[in-house]
Structure 1
Amino acid sequence: MDTNQTTGRTSGDTDALIRLLDIADSIPGAVELRARSYELLGVEPGMKVADVGCGPGRAAAEMAERGARVIGIDPDERMIDVAVRRRPAADFRVAGAYDLPFPDGALSGYRAEKVFHVLDDPARAVDEARRVLAPGGRIVLLGQDWDTFVIDADDAALTRTIVHARADLVPTPRVVRRSRNLLLDAEFTDVTVETRTLVFTDATMVPALTDLAEKARSAGAISEAQAGAWIAEQHDRGRRGRLFFALPMFLTAATRR
């Protein structure tokens, strides 16, 4: 079994994550959300930006299309391999959020999407972001709160159990609630918070909902029968256009003093 020594993921885990990211990144709401993050970052030609936790590299490529000098950073070697294969002209490097491969003050922009919830010490990552940003540089953190997934299902209690059990598997599932204060504590200025809620009513996000229930089952929070029935219901809702999944996303932005 091929396991990444930095992330602890197997190559199969990473491939499954890439499939989910590709689905999530392609929906119109996500496209608009990324575009807003670039506006908050102030992306412009020649600007040097790190996209931390870049995954398969979609955001890095989009910012490069706007003329920025983008370096995609991810600790997962398999993820970087996929990013390089898809976008061979781009600059991607294997590194973690705690130890970025840049000298002090080297960057004008720092962007991290769906990253801080997997870190066991987000404050340390913010300090590292402050180190690599030049004065006046911008930071944008984009992510979800794992306790605030809104899902319609016949069994509301079971759904709450699934959502909370999945959240409990995440190192810092509610970090978006802390992001503003983390940036203030690190002496960033002009701190703002925005939210956009993505709403899904067809089968697009059934794979993500399936993953939610399967992870809750694997954690022992629900039985195999409960997981199977709940997943079957969401598949049925997706087929009939009766699915409802609302996902609030938060954008926290600030300026390096």
Structure 2
Amino acid sequence: MNKVHIVGAGPGDPELITVKGQRLLQEADVIIYAGSLVNPALLDYAKAQCKIYNSASMTLQDVVEVVKNAVADDLQVVRLHTGDPAIYGAIQEQMDEFKKLSIDYEVVPGVSSFLASAAALKQEYTLPEISQTVIITRNAGRTPVPEKENLKSLAAHNATMCIFLSVHMLNDVVKELIAGGYKEDTPIAIVQKASWPEQKIVRGRLNDIVGKVGKEDITRTAMIVVGECLDTDYALSRLYAPEFTHMYRKGTDSEGK
């Protein structure tokens, strides 16, 4: 039997899917895509006779049933998720069901929206002497967050933070971040639909971002990025310093020789 391919679609731009992901879409007989988030332009890669399902209106069992029947008919199946499937993709429960049914599967990674947001912002998240840690998280909503992982607790690190699925609760997010230890003037950016044609960026500080975003009517499909990396002086990397020696290059000594 054919295996199921769980494919990361990337953040939106159809050209940001991996070469392997694109090939699998072109070869697929059945595609089940996350219609609430995946750019439908990616479906243009599918062949004319491919059967396409939008999982936005399906339950877990609906998805599994389509996969089971397709694999039984020896068809090639792609389960297309937004970004990278491992981040808020709800794929574990699907893989566990496939295991129960002895359906073989493979996961093909993709470009996550938190990385596409960095590209849109033209920003490195891990600046020397500013932040060497990136926290990927979300605010508690209909899906709870473990108490030890709430925003207030994570904010104590003052690291670069990328917050998914929370822009509709931005006021609460800001309050938690400040209560946890970020200064009120900490830089923050909201990137809506990173890499899409309608991409929108709003920059500000924790103490003014809510008002700025309210004027732009951004309520979903947006990444929240917070941290000093967004607007600060930083140390240059030692990797390219002329005096720094590493296994590929000998640096100059203290006298510049």
TM score, norm. by length of structure 1? 0.38
TM score, norm. by length of structure 2? 0.38
More helix as a share of residues: 1
More strand as a share of residues: 1
Which is greater in Rg?
2
